[in-house]
């Protein structure tokens, strides 16, 4: 009996996928996917709606051929190579004759700490925060790529893709691309080395009886420092700004949360307590504006702490935050010069959302749960097999066991994600 039920459910899931395929086909008839540059030099790959592996080593001559394929075959997932080839349809990689490749950064919820505990919408917000940091701090600032060569897309699923189309990157190999990843992620940074993070500067000599001592001060990483010291300086500035906005008690709780979440301990393995945290806060924010510890820190002077323990706590806090300020990107994607990436303007087979290009200056206002929805609002009946909920276009949709009538874009999402199938009467003879 159980085997029979499983077979029926499998059949109904297959029918749901065929309905989803029809929805996709209707969309592509009106809105074909966007074409990459030199499309005839790209390898294309597709996953079908029916079970089976990816169809690879496909090539097209022109836009019309691509558009016809999407309507005729209507794939569930669609990709093209970031690389350019002389023979993109060759079945063996060494026969394709590689000509170069775009530089790709891929960031999705898998790279977000604690994402498994978040709802889908929360994951998307967290990923967007990280992709903005990746764009602003690294792609545009540290690497200095011109905006005209940078293309940003929502993946249609749980993340974003950044394409760098500067001709200077096309010839870069895996090793050079790995160096870019290492820089973004801060791999190998000597953040535990105080002489690098807080270098000492001599102020001269002083005498204590018959003994002489060199007076030194430590220098803070500044926002204008080159490379990673500048990135750390920006992070310190943001943290100080955040603390300054808060009242003393709220700020102390904020620091206590950081100590807990970062696992901060002194050299003996003891966690920093409330007294140290509150004393450090006083060192930073007590006194007349312009003469406070925080004002001196912002000018680059580190010698503002009344106790060595307060200084050590702040130094360890900065070291911990330096790791947090590191960027994220999917290393295998960025380093792979033969990678396939989702086709802009295509539909994602697990959500029904569009792989959406985004103007760089519009990313902060971009909401994928509104702006990436392109399917119509016509009603569709679905049957819930797994309770689920999501907010789309400002409306909350929640399905529980039973039949639901929903707008097409919402029904397609639940069908694509596997939370729903078609009601029996939909395909009853």
Report CA-CA distances (Å) from 409 to 29, 50, 244, 283, 419.
17, 21, 45, 55, 14
Only one residue has tokens 């925060």, namely 129
Backbone angles phi, psi at 407, to 5 degrees: -60, 150
Tell the burial category of 160 from Cβ atoms under 10 Å away from its Cβ (0-12, 13-18, 19+).
Answer: buried
* Beta bridge partner(s), residue 47: 77
E strand residue ranges, 30-97: 44-47, 55-58, 77-81, 83-85
Longest alpha-carbon distance in the chain: 105
- Spatial distance between the Cα atoms of 375 and 351, rounded to a whole number of angstroms: 11
Burial letters 92-101, b for 16+ CB under 10 A, else e: eeeebebebb
Q: Which 8-state DSSP code applies to residue 346?
A: P
- Spatial distance between the Cα atoms of 330 and 57, rounded to a whole number of angstroms: 24
DSSP letters of 201-242?
EEEEEEEETTEEEEEEEEB---TTSSHHHHHHHHHHHHHHHH
Residue 328: closest CA among 138, 197, 154: 138
Only one residue has tokens 């303007």, namely 345
Query: How many CB atoms within 10 Å of residue 228?
Result: 20
Residue 300: closest CA among 215, 194, 195, 201: 201
- Token readout for 345 is 């303007």
- Token readout for 41 is 């030099």
Report CA-CA distances (Å) from 163 to 9, 154, 166, 425.
40, 11, 9, 45
Query: How many CB atoms within 10 Å of residue 29?
Result: 12
Among all residues, which ones are annotated catalytic?
Answer: 106, 108, 330
- Spatial distance between the Cα atoms of 167 and 388, rounded to a whole number of angstroms: 45
């Amino acid at each position: 009996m159980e085997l029979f039920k499983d077979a029926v459910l499998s059949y109904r899931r297959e029918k749901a996928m065929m309905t989803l395929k029809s929805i996709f086909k209707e969309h592509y008839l009106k809105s074909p996917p966007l074409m990459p540059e030199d499309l005839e030099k790209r390898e294309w790959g597709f996953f079908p709606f029916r079970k089976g592996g990816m169809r690879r080593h496909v090539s097209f001559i022109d836009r019309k051929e691509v558009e016809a394929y999407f309507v005729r075959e209507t794939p569930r997932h669609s990709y093209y190579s970031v690389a350019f080839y002389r023979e993109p349809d060759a079945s063996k990689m060494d026969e394709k004759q590689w000509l170069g490749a775009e530089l790709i950064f891929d960031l999705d919820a898998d790279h977000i700490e604690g994402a498994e505990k978040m709802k889908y919408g929360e994951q998307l917000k967290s990923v967007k925060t990280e992709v903005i940091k990746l764009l602003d701090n690294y792609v545009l600032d540290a690497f200095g790529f011109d905006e005209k060569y940078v293309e940003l897309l929502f993946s249609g699923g749980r993340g974003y893709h950044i394409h760098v189309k500067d001709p200077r990157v096309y010839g870069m190999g895996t090793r050079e691309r790995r160096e870019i990843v290492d820089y973004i992620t801060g791999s190998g940074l000597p953040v535990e080395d105080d002489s690098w993070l807080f270098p000492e500067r001599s102020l001269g000599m002083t005498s204590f009886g018959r003994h002489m001592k060199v007076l030194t001060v430590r220098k803070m990483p500044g926002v204008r420092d080159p490379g990673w010291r500048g990135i750390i300086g920006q992070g310190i500035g943001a943290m100080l700004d955040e603390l300054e906005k808060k009242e003393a008690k709220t700020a102390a709780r904020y620091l206590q949360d950081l100590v807990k979440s970062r696992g901060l301990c002194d050299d003996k393995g003891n966690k920093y307590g409330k007294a140290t945290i509150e004393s450090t806060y006083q060192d930073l924010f007590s006194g007349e504006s312009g003469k406070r510890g925080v004002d001196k820190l912002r000018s680059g002077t580190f010698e503002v702490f009344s106790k060595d323990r307060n200084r050590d706590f702040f130094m360890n806090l900065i070291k911990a935050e330096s790791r947090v300020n590191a960027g994220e990107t999917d290393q295998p994607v960025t380093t792979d010069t033969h990678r396939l990436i989702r086709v802009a303007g295509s539909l994602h087979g697990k959500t029904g959302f569009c792989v959406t290009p985004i103007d760089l200056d519009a990313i902060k206002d971009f909401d994928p749960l509104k702006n990436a929805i392109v399917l119509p609002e016509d009603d569709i009946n679905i049957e819930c097999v797994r309770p689920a909920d999501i907010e789309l276009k400002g409306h909350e949709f929640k399905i529980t066991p039973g039949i639901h009538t929903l707008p097409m874009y919402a029904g397609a999402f639940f069908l694509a994600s596997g939370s729903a199938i078609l009601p029996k009467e939909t395909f009853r003879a």
